[in-house]
Amino acid sequence: MRTIVSTFSALLWAVVSTLHAAEARDHLSPHQRVILESKSPPAEEYRFSFDLPAGPQFTEAEKEVQRERGKGVMPRVMKAFESGADSVRIPPGDYRFGQERWQGAKAIYPLGFENLQRDAEHPFVIDATGATFWFDLDDKQMPPGHRCVGFRNCRNIVLRGAILDRGTRGCIEGRITRIDREGNRFEIQPSPGIVVPTTFNGSDEQRLFPFKSDGRFCVPLYDLQAGIRKLRYKEITPSAEGRYWITMRDPDLMERLHDPNWERAYGDLGVVRVGDGLSCLYTTAGAIVLDDSANITLHGVSAYVAKGGPSESGGDGAHLWKDCYFGPRPGTSQWKGADGYLCRSTRYGTTMDNVTIRHTADDLQNFHGIWGKVKAVSGKQVTLETNASLRPTLNNALAGDRLRFIHRKTGVVLGEAKFTALKDFQVTLDQDATPFAEAQAEWLDHECAGRVVQNCRWEDNFQRLLIMFGPGTVRGCTFTRMGSNISLNTGMGLVGGIPSDITLTDNTFLDVGPRPHSSAIDAHAHNAQGKDGVPPIERLIITGNTFTRSGGPAMNLIGIQDSRIENNVIHSPVRATVLAKPDARTARQAIQLRHSTRVALKGNTLTDPEGHTQPDATSGSPLVGLEVTKEITLDGKRLHDAPR
């Protein structure tokens, strides 16, 4: 009987997953589906050298001509749109813009598209192939962040072929010429075009990225930023030779570079020496921002804006990013390029196909909604705590949208309801709200559901790919030198959702999460009080992936349920932890399961030539470690339940 039930559950699970994928695909416009099915050109190759030029250089007279050309872009677009044309062509060349203006809390983008709406059968195409849009942004330290290209309240619009860059560098970077251990400082020769501010405000974002002379991120040194913020610099001052000293706030980076165990674990990639490089952050920007919009296609777009990332917020979503590049301008001395993606509070998740992103300074990508914290209840009405981040959800909510209420401390699911009316932060439900007095509300229809990330290349990135709602798929992607990992988290604070129905398949992870104890895929279900496994992450599928050199186990999964881990190949996990922290207590299996129930592991293989893994006491295998688990099967064999 148990076998029949399990088989039926597996079949039902497969059907539901297929329906989720089909539903997400149905929300792509016909034009987006054609683009998605087209053959992808090869991604741009990236070559770094301190000795390459900084990029195109222009005289002041040339910049004035570019500014005049920039003034004509929006009138050209609007004339074509209002005439009912299918498309508009922006001629190849350089166009220059200033920076954003503000009307109250509303940003006026230097290149902003607002209220451009077409139906799905007749999209409007802005073809900017061969055009470069330059943005002259000031170099003030963050916050605030600048804006470049924006779409607000737009639908079925295509931006094709544009290149985005900033006229100022927006960060400080260069070759290390001296290392002063006693003074806790590094001397650098700045790359061409760098302007160094005379004062610094000392904020947490005042931090640096260490990288090798060939452009590789020294990814194990992310260990000094994760949760402890030890990569901050205090000041940058001229040196006697006209170069600059970068003085650190804390000694940890300098000491790590002289730790023999650390170098033994990571070799050249774990340290910087004279001749390597540093990139120091102090500004931020939004290169492309999609607000309250639907079915926007970015096709063949490249963004080189330093720490200038794309973002999606509110609206129906269902955007498509195809054949895009976000990172340093190839073939230059520019190391820091564009930043990671923020995808939040859209009705339908984004599709990313053949996208390359390099050198993010924060999260690689976020998928989440925003929790609504219950302030008071009365009858069928729920009053939520005022929160500006929740407005994209409230502005786009429709009667009939589902809300799931979860106890804000224990994580226990209290029930679901549909909302019927809304006035500011006061929500009217279709039922009595009394049981939800101690809850926070999850907006199930506004958390980027159905997103697909496929055939993408992520290289030399700082932090995590964060997933906080499902369903969603990451498949056929390559992750190389990534400080953190793919992280599934229930997050009971501001940003939120429960990342169930997630599939991670046929991906390659190389030096992802290499710092001590870290993993390439991390799942952590927990409540606001820190209790693991409540609410659980359900129906997680991890299959057909290849993992090489994670710092700890390739997968560290806490609080998953009714999930499958199959046909993954794992090379040399935990080695770095054992060598870098020889006295530390650490898990010594390739896959760690804790506070988990009904998980099937099948066909996974482990290669550990140096013998750093050890058999687990419960599973009897170095492949999987168990703690507080029930109903776990390994290659068809039911394992003993594991106590704490």
> Does 435 lie in the same domain as 456?
no
Q: What is the pLDDT of residue 36?
A: 86
Query: Is 21 inside a domain boundary?
Result: no
Determine the Cα–Cα distance for residues 275 and 271; give it in Å rounded to an integer. 12
DSSP-derived 3-state class of residue 354: coil
Q: What is the pLDDT of residue 201?
A: 84
Domain finish residue from 252, 281, 310: 281
Determine the distance from the C-alpha atom of residue 286 to the mean position of all C-alpha atoms in its chain, rounded to a whole number.
14
pLDDT > 70 fraction of the chain, expressed in percent and rounded: 95
Q: What is the pLDDT of residue 10?
A: 40
Could you identify the residue written with the tokens 């290659």? 635
Whether the predicted pLDDT of 43 surpasses 80:
no
Number of domains in the chain: 4
Mean residue pLDDT across the chain: 93
DSSP-derived 3-state class of residue 587: coil
> Does 569 lie in the same domain as 455?
yes
| pLDDT band of 47, cuts 50, 70, 90 | confident
Query: Is 216 inside a domain boundary?
Result: yes
> Does 178 lie in the same domain as 144?
no
| pLDDT band of 17, cuts 50, 70, 90 | very low
Determine the Cα–Cα distance for residues 622 and 245; give it in Å rounded to an integer. 47
> Does 378 lie in the same domain as 256?
no
The dihedral sign for the CA sequence 212, 215, 218, 222: positive
Whether the predicted pLDDT of 122 surpasses 90:
yes
Whether the predicted pLDDT of 552 surpasses 60:
yes
Read off the CATH number of the domain in which 373 is found.
2.40.30
Query: Is 591 inside a domain boundary?
Result: yes
> Does 558 lie in the same domain as 479?
yes
Model pLDDT for residues 475-511, shown as the tens digit of each residue:
999 999 999 999 999 988 888 899 999 999 999 999 9
Q: What is the pLDDT of residue 441?
A: 96
Whether the predicted pLDDT of 22 surpasses 70:
no
> Does 150 lie in the same domain as 207?
no
pLDDT > 90 fraction of the chain, expressed in percent and rounded: 83
Query: Is 15 inside a domain boundary?
Result: no
> Does 291 lie in the same domain as 156?
yes
Residues 6 or more apart in contact with residue 19 via CB below 8 angstroms? none
Query: Is 29 inside a domain boundary?
Result: no
Determine the Cα–Cα distance for residues 431 and 34; give it in Å rounded to an integer. 43
Model pLDDT for residues 134-143, shown as the tens digit of each residue:
999 988 887 7
Q: What is the pLDDT of residue 197?
A: 86
Q: What is the pLDDT of residue 227?
A: 77
Whether the predicted pLDDT of 7 surpasses 80:
no
Determine the Cα–Cα distance for residues 616 and 587; give it in Å rounded to an integer. 9
Domain finish residue from 281, 299, 326: 281
* DSSP E strand boundaries for 252-355: 277-281, 285-291, 297-299, 302-303, 308-313, 320-322, 325-326, 341-344, 351-353
> Does 378 lie in the same domain as 394?
yes
Residue 437, CA distances (Å) to 49, 380, 413 in order: 59, 11, 13
Model pLDDT for residues 274-306, shown as the tens digit of each residue:
999 999 998 889 999 999 999 999 999 999 999
> Does 487 lie in the same domain as 611?
yes
Determine the Cα–Cα distance for residues 623 and 608; give it in Å rounded to an integer. 10
Q: What is the pLDDT of residue 45?
A: 77
Whether the predicted pLDDT of 583 surpasses 90:
no
Whether the predicted pLDDT of 417 surpasses 90:
yes
Q: Which two tokens stand for residue 560?
A: 């998953």
Angle between helical axes of 60-71 and 73-82 (0-180°, round to 10): 20
The domain of 140 spans: 60-168+284-362
Query: Is 385 inside a domain boundary?
Result: yes
> Does 460 lie in the same domain as 325?
no
Model pLDDT for residues 322-369, shown as the tens digit of each residue:
999 999 999 999 999 999 999 999 999 999 999 999 999 989 999 999
Q: What is the pLDDT of residue 26?
A: 65
Read off the CATH number of the domain in which 91 is found.
2.160.20
Query: Is 456 inside a domain boundary?
Result: yes
244-274 burial, b at 16+ Cβ within 10 Å, e below that, comes to: bbbebbbebbbebbeeeebbebbeebbbbee
Domain finish residue from 362, 383, 404: 362
> Does 240 lie in the same domain as 376?
no
Q: What is the pLDDT of residue 642?
A: 92
Read off the pLDDT of each residue in 263-273 and give the average, rounded to a whole number: 97
> Does 139 lie in the same domain as 75?
yes
Read off the pLDDT of each residue in 55-74 and give the average, rounded to a whole number: 97
Model pLDDT for residues 367-411, shown as the tens digit of each residue:
999 999 999 999 999 999 999 999 999 999 999 999 999 999 999
Q: What is the pLDDT of residue 214?
A: 96
| pLDDT band of 5, cuts 50, 70, 90 | very low
What single string gives the DSSP state of each residue in 128-157? Answer: -TTEEEEE----PPSSSPEEEEEEES-BSE
Model pLDDT for residues 190-212, shown as the tens digit of each residue:
998 888 888 888 877 789 999 99
Q: What is the pLDDT of residue 25?
A: 54
* Straight-line distance from the first to the last Cα atom of the chain, in angstroms, rounded to the nearest whole number: 30
Query: Is 51 inside a domain boundary?
Result: no
* CA nearest to 536, candidates 560, 558, 565: 560
Determine the Cα–Cα distance for residues 514 and 462; give it in Å rounded to an integer. 12
